[in-house]
Structure 1
């Protein structure tokens, strides 16, 4: 019998798989270090303190203890990897320079525990990571050399790409990541939509787009967590996530460097698309580490239809 598309029967571990991808040994090592760090993060999620840490990140948001701990775990692993020159975290107020010599090194931008406020109600959360060659992270996401997210749900899964397709690995009982899906692909159009933000604050264009999705029978699937929502859309190969510009926050909510670029990279590698409504997410040049952007990400045709609505080309004007 043939293998079902997007799945694998063989127990291939993460390191062995990476070695077969014809990438540098340093990149293999870095990706394995990220996978190792996630094992400590999931332990913190399952057993850690849910209380507030008593500090704020640079955006003035109250940090949970788990945010602080997850950030510390990831940063320490990256610092001691020997292949990272610069680290940027959503929970840090400045870039952490590991070494001033970027030769052969990588810069890593990450959100250590996206959706951490959902932990105390036992919903899925995740880690998001974008990888750049050299010292500069303030460049279009299309120049990334890899992206990863780890979903801490009923199962722990790692989804990654280094520009050679998208693969999912699942943590087994021995806390080893083994390949469960390969060459993940998205359909041109889908029937799931995950809309973030208060709908009463949507612009008329976004409201019309949502009505279009509802009229075509799309099902609402929104958890409040970026990682689980993208994971559902990506692995089902079906749907769109949007967090648009709102009337009181025209720049959107999600951050380009830590959240949008890695997810856009993965979704594009699977045949999907991501835009801010005008420009592909991966073609945006960050003006700073805290830059935010509206986002429409998922099936290519659904993303293109969103762009049409936002630019008045939907036929309703």
Structure 2
């Protein structure tokens, strides 16, 4: 029975029970629950772990924090031992890891174990992003995902997931159990929040005009530097747009299709929003490499449409 407040539930429903109500296969239920369990160890590492540098760099030349390495190890070990995963791709690995040979009922997982890890030492929110595909092919369109989720490690730990049947939020309680907080989250057609990534003096003409349009409309700038908390704000408030456009010198933007964009685009679209690279829906892009990047405009449908109009004019 719902509260008078839309989107909230009166009785506590745990994650496993809610997943079973989605009428998905047992292996997918098991996999999502394993990822949820792994997140409990990740948040413990975030709260108590070493903030020092691990002494290595990832594939993209970015400095890896010790927490990056630890979070990746936690997540990968859980996925391997789940027994339902064949291929694994992590932002912290330079190639796909085969957990077991292809077989019926198995899944492949792409994830960013600790997105925004550079924010940990200044005590800002970070998160884990996960895409799940049926079978062992990871280099396919995001629209083929069978599930997507993120876990936000903030003042509260929350897990947001979709298996294509609505978008739902769970919050970790004092027993470290995930219980349902919001069900069937939906987005408005437009909003009054914008989160613009990248240096504005490197924006092209279309993006600059779009930002000015938002400012003239009275939209409020809300940008933390973390993809998970910024998307979470847009999604939970049901309004606004996040953008990290093509920049002068970086025509493909910053964010990676496989590890970051596909999962968020899947969630936002299933909440009634939209996600594009400025020319086509992000979920329709078929990646050709693990590190492929794309510009992103993600949030309320009308706001995303307006961004595309400004880009087309420019």
Q: TM-score category by the smaller chain? A: over 0.9
2:170 touches 2:178 (CA, 8 Å); kept in 1? yes
Alignment of 1:71-150 (within 5 A): 71-150=72-151
2:221 maps to 1:220: yes
Distance in 1 (CA, whole Å) between partners of 2:53 and 2:88 is 24
Number of matched residues? 313
* Distance change in 2, residues 1:71/1:2 (3 Å): closer
Distance in 2 (CA, whole Å) between partners of 1:263 and 1:189 is 18
Distance in 2 (CA, whole Å) between partners of 1:116 and 1:280 is 28
In the alignment, structure 1 segments of 5+ residues that lack a partner are: none
Displacement after TM superposition at 1:127 (Å): 0.1
Alignment of 1:176-195 (within 5 A): 176-195=177-196
Partner of 2:275: helix, strand, or coil? strand
Displacement after TM superposition at 1:101 (Å): 2.0
Displacement after TM superposition at 1:4 (Å): 2.0
State the Cα RMSD in Å. 0.9
Alignment of 1:134-173 (within 5 A): 134-173=135-174
Displacement after TM superposition at 1:103 (Å): 1.8
2:3 touches 2:9 (CA, 8 Å); kept in 1? no
2:214 maps to 1:206: no
Q: Deviations over 1:156-183 (max 9, x none)?
A: 0000000000000000000000000000
Partner of 1:128: helix, strand, or coil? strand
In the alignment, structure 2 segments of 5+ residues that lack a partner are: none
Displacement after TM superposition at 1:2 (Å): 5.5
TM-score by length of 2: 0.99
Larger mean CA deviation between 124-133 and 99-108 belongs to 99-108
Q: Deviations over 1:216-235 (max 9, x none)?
A: 01000000000000000000
Distance in 2 (CA, whole Å) between partners of 1:4 and 1:131 is 31
Could you say which residue in structure 1 is the equivalent of 2:46?
45
Q: Deviations over 1:99-145 (max 9, x none)?
A: 12232100000000000000000000000000000000111100000
2:10 maps to 1:12: no
2:209 touches 2:310 (CA, 8 Å); kept in 1? yes
